[in-house]
Structures are given as C-alpha cells and as structure tokens.
Amino acid sequence: MDLVLNGDVDGRMDSVEEAKTADTLIDTLFNSNTTTLRKRVDDSCRKFFATTDGATDRRIEHVRSKFMQFDAPAQGQSAETYLDMLDREVLPHCSHLASPRYLGHMTSPIPQFLPEIGRLVQTLNQNVVKMETSRGMAFLERQVIGMLHREIFGADKQFYEENLQTASSALGIFTSGGTLANICALWTAMRLADATQAAESTKPLQAAERPVIIGSELMHYSFDKGAQLLGAELHKVAVNNLFQIDLNALGEAVEKYRQAGRKIACLVAIAGTTDYGSIDALARICEIGKQIGAHVHVDAAWGGGLILSKSNRYLLDGIAQADTVTIDGHKQLMLPLGCGMLFFRDPALSQLTMHHAPYAVRATSFDQGRFTLEGTRPATALYVHAALHIIGKNGYDDLFSESLQRARYMAQAIEARPEFELMAAPAMNILTYRYIPEKYRNKKIDDQDNIQINRFNTSLQKWQRQKGDSFVSRTFRAIGQYDNQGLTLLRAVLLNPLTTYDDIDFLLNDQLHIARSLESEISGVPASHS
Ligand SMILES: Cc1ncc(COP(=O)(O)O)c(C=O)c1O
C-alpha cells in the first residue's frame, strides 16, 4: 500500500490547529510529511551539541520555575511552534552528557548511527512482549542475547543450537536497565531458595528466617530495592583497600548465617562498582557459592561490556561460573537508554519466574513476556544487535582500551598535582579523588580535618557544576585508610571517547582554579593566581 503524505512540497507537516474535522486531524497526525520536522530536530541537536560545556550554568530554582504550568493544553499547535518552545525553554537546561568535559556519570554520548536505529525502533513500535506484536524482533532479541551469553559463559556450539531459539526457556532477558535486571536475578535466586525452604517448612517465614542476600557494601542500591520487594535480608560486607569485597569478611558472614541455620539465597559479586569501577574476586565468590549451594549473581551492569574486549576481558575472569549476570547496554556499550540485560548460565533458571496469560503470552509460544518481569517492552535489542554488527567486537576492543588508557592518564594527572589525593589506582575507568586544601597538606589528617575537607569538596563540586565548564560527580563513602570515616569524593567516569587528555587537564585545572578561589574566600585573602 502506498502512503500518501500530507504537507506542502517542502515537506512541512500540517498544523493540528488547522485541522477542522476529526478526519483532517487523523490525516495530519498519521499521514504527514515530516521531512522539515526532521531537519528542524537535527538543527536543535546540532545547537545543543555545539558547546563543550560540561553542564548548564542555570540555577536549579531557575530551571524548576520553567516547569510550573500544570494545565494540559486544550488546543494543539504546530510541531514547529512546539519545537521552538523546546529550543527556548527545555534544551538549554539539559545535561551535556556528550561534552568531552562532562566526566560525571555513566551515561556517554551515543554513536551517531544509533538515533537512526532508534527511529526504526520507534517507528516500527514493536512490542517484544509477545510474538503477535513483534515476530521477527522476538527472534532477533533471543539471537543477540545468545551472542552475549556465548561471550560471557562460552558454552559449546551444540548448547546454542539447542537453546538459542527454543520456546521452553531463555538464555537471558532484556530489561529497562540494570536495576530491573538485578531485581530479576534476585527474584530467580529467591525462587530457588523458596523451593528448598518450602521442602523443609510449611509455615510463613518469620523475619529471622528470611533468606539472606550477601554482597559488598558497594552493592548498587537496586539490591536494597530488590531485597525489600522480595522479603529477603540484605547483608553488606566491608571492602578492602582496592574497594573489592573483603573475602575474609565474606567468609565470616557466610559462616554466621549458616551457623544460625539461615538460607543464603544469593551471593552478589560486582564487576565494576558504581563508585570506583572496582571488580570483586569473581572466581572466588563463584567457588564459595558452589560450596554452600547459593546462587551467585554478578552485577556487571558497568563492567560487563568488557566481555567483548579481547585485550581487557581478563578483568572479568571467573564470570563464566556465575549463575546470572547483569549487563547494561546503555553504560559501557554506549547504547541509548533502556537497554539492560540479565543472562542465565543455565536456561532452566529462566523457568523459575515464568508466567503466562490466556489472551496472549501463551505457555507453549515463543513469547518472551513469559520470562520478563516487565510486560510491554520496546525492541531495544535492536540497539545491541546494530552495535555488534556495526562496531563489532574489535571496535569495542579499541574503545575499551582507549577508555582504560584515559583513566590511567587521569590518575597520573591527579597524582602529578599535589593538591589532589587519589583514592586508588583505576581498576577500570572510574576514578575517585579529592582536593586537599593547603592547610591540610603535608600533615597527618585527623577526623576533624576530614570533616572540613569534606565540606570543601562538596562546595568545590557544586561550584564546578554551577560554573558549567566541566563536570565530575561526587560520592560519600567510608574509607578504610581513614578508619572508615565517611569522605566526600570527587568521581570521574572516563567513558566518553571524545574526551582528550587536554580535556582532562582542563577539568583538573578548572578544579584547582575554583578551589583556590574557595580557599581565598574562606581565608579572606584574595587568590594569588585566580
Ligand atoms: C553497578 C551498577 N549496577 C546497577 C546499576 C543500575 O542500573 P540502571 O540505572 O540502569 O537501573 C548501576 C547504575 O549506575 C550500577 O552502577
């Protein structure tokens, strides 16, 4: 069927304002030529990306005040008028995630072919919950999950021939992000624990009998959410000086719960902590899990992408022994948001949380909705599929190697500046450090000093964010070398491939400049080199 598009010869979409009847409205909304609109959006994007600023310099209150209108518009307007409003009122306040001087968070710029793939995802609007609303995409989703499953677990050809496109189980699922993937992993672990506990007792569980989930104090807060939702106890173990789970402390915790007769439902290992990028001893944790009969989940939301990097995948050694693994495509794989994944080493695990419905998502179908917590879902698998075909493993290998090298450069650049204290050598591509004001340098820093230094670093980070020329985030963590005192730390994520060594130097010098101004403001003596 040929589509007849509305709009003038220049491709301008008709205005809804001009639509006098329901028929013309429907025509305008569904049959318009959007060529001009597309160019117009491209212009907005170009304008937005034209600056290297790390953040908007508008105050939060100012931005907030722009969004106080709460009556929904009765009368539609032209898309052009609407986009003009976005250009004026909204885009100037968006975060410059693609700026080479924005090193604050785990969201990077995305390769330029991906928004085009995104247009396909949105235009086709396939709902991968079931075959009747997605067909080809559902098999594509299973295929791409299988490709990554093989990179993680490395099972043999026959395993994938049998399990890749089989209706009865799944090698993994797509989720909206790492949070959902982690929660689904806990759900699986809890179903396994339930099965063993139910065999032993028929009474409802008392608080003191709830299954236990154990991981390091650096577990992402999705585990707090998951444990609460599922009625489990979450036990957090201390980390060592490299910010990895302390294996002795883990052993003691396991022993304590076993002696108390408690079921350990899940051990969590992290491959890339949110704060430091550190990687737990994956192989050892998997071994402990096996010994005690506990499910082992690896949260590789951040670090999991390294599995595609021939030169760096050794950092994830041991991951193949895990029972489940989370990877976020929208982090290190640099894909659009909404691209989480959970992998099951043994596809039978996917059956533990299976649900179906008579109107669709039928028991014997290929419907992926049987295995997912979410119902309706977009075909974000297409982003991973496209990236694997267009960038390829070799391309990701180069991107990861560059990113890790950038982190090593920044670590050296921090150490070369005596004003900063680096908390640990980079395990991957996240760094934490802090500024030490002059009066605390070259002396033993005590608790009171740290309280002042914390305040200083909080102000420094806020000032830098407000100034807007560069950006790092901040975190607050107990640090072993300071007797577990909580320290405010500056946190840089070195993911953006567009960040150059000059940008890193710019950012650090920007911080020094701000810090000197702050110090002089506090002491009342003007900064000598501001
Ligand atoms: C280690 C880790 N796990 C899980 C998550 C949650 O991912 P999402 O924000 O995609 O839900 C994050 C997010 O920062 C993370 O760093």
Domain ranges of the chain: 16-96, 127-390, 395-523
- Going by alpha carbons, the residue nearest to atom 15 of ligand 1 is 274
Contact 328, 298 (CB under 8 A): no
Nearest to 233 by CA among 202, 201, 207: 207
Do the Cβ atoms of 118 and 339 come closer than 8 Å? no
Its pTM stands at 0.93
**String of DSSP letters for 499-524:** --HHHHHHHHHHHHHHHHHHHHHHHS
Task: Give distance in angstroms: CA of 182 to centre of ligand 1.
Answer: 9
In this predicted model, what pLDDT tens digit does every residue of 210-224 receive, in sequence order?
999 999 999 999 999
CA of 301 to the centre of ligand 1 (A): 6
Q: How far apart are the first and last CA of the chain?
A: 67
Which residue's C-alpha comes closest to atom 5 of ligand 1?
A: 178
- Give percent above pLDDT 90 in the chain: 78
- If you average pLDDT over residues 301-323, what whole number do you get? 98
Measure the CA dihedral 388/393/399/404, to 10°: 130
The 10s digit of each residue's pLDDT in 467-492 is 989 999 999 999 999 999 999 999 99
How far away, in angstroms, is 314 Cα from ligand 1 center? 22
Residue 400 Cα to ligand 1 middle (Å): 19
Position 392 pLDDT exceeds 80: yes
Q: What are phi and psi of 267, to 5 degrees?
A: -105, 135
Per-residue model confidence as pLDDT tens digits over 107-160: 989 999 999 999 999 999 999 999 889 989 999 999 999 999 999 999 999 999
Q: Which of 274, 334, 383, 473 to mutate to test the pocket of ligand 1 (most atoms within 8 A of CB)?
A: 274
- What does the pLDDT read at residue 269? 98
What letter represents residue 89's amino acid?
Answer: E
* Sign of torsion over alpha carbons 217, 221, 222, 225: positive
Q: How confident is the model at residue 28 (pLDDT cuts 50, 70, 90)?
A: confident
**The two structure tokens encoding residue 379:** 């075909």
Q: Percentage of residues in the chain with pLDDT exceeding 70? A: 92
Distance CA 176, CA 380 (A): 9
Question: Rounded to whole angstroms, how far apart are CA atoms 282 and 140?
Answer: 30
Q: Whose CA is nearest to atom 4 of ligand 1?
A: 178
How confident is the model over 172-229, as pLDDT tens digits? 999 999 999 999 999 999 999 987 765 555 555 566 689 999 999 999 999 999 999 9
β-pairing, 233-237 vs 212-216, is parallel
Does the Cβ of 280 fall within 6 Å of ligand 1? no
Position 203 scores a pLDDT of: 59
Element spanning 342, H or E: strand 340-344
Tell me which of 237-251, 315-329, 353-367 is least confident. Answer: 353-367
Report the candidate in 187, 178, 171, 175 with the shortest Cα–Cα distance to residue 350. 171
For residue 491 and ligand 1, the question of a CB distance below 6 A is answered with no
Centroid of ligand 1 to alpha carbon of 327 (angstroms) = 9
Which ligand 1 atom sits nearest the alpha carbon of residue 270? Answer: 1
pLDDT of residue 524: 72
Residue 385 DSSP SS3:
helix
**Residue 35 in this model has a pLDDT that exceeds 50:** yes
The mean pLDDT value of the chain amounts to 92
Atom of ligand 1 nearest to the CA of 328: 10
User: Residue 316: which pLDDT band, with cuts at 50, 70 and 90?
Assistant: very high
pLDDT at 407 > cutoff 60? yes
Whole-number pLDDT of residue 3: 43
Domain 127-390 fold is Aspartate Aminotransferase; domain 2 (3.40.640)
Q: Is 332 in the pocket of ligand 1 (CB under 6 A)?
A: no
Q: Which amino acid is at 406?
A: R
Residue range 395-523 in CATH 3.90.1150.170: yes
Handedness of CA 374, 377, 380, 385 (dihedral sign): positive
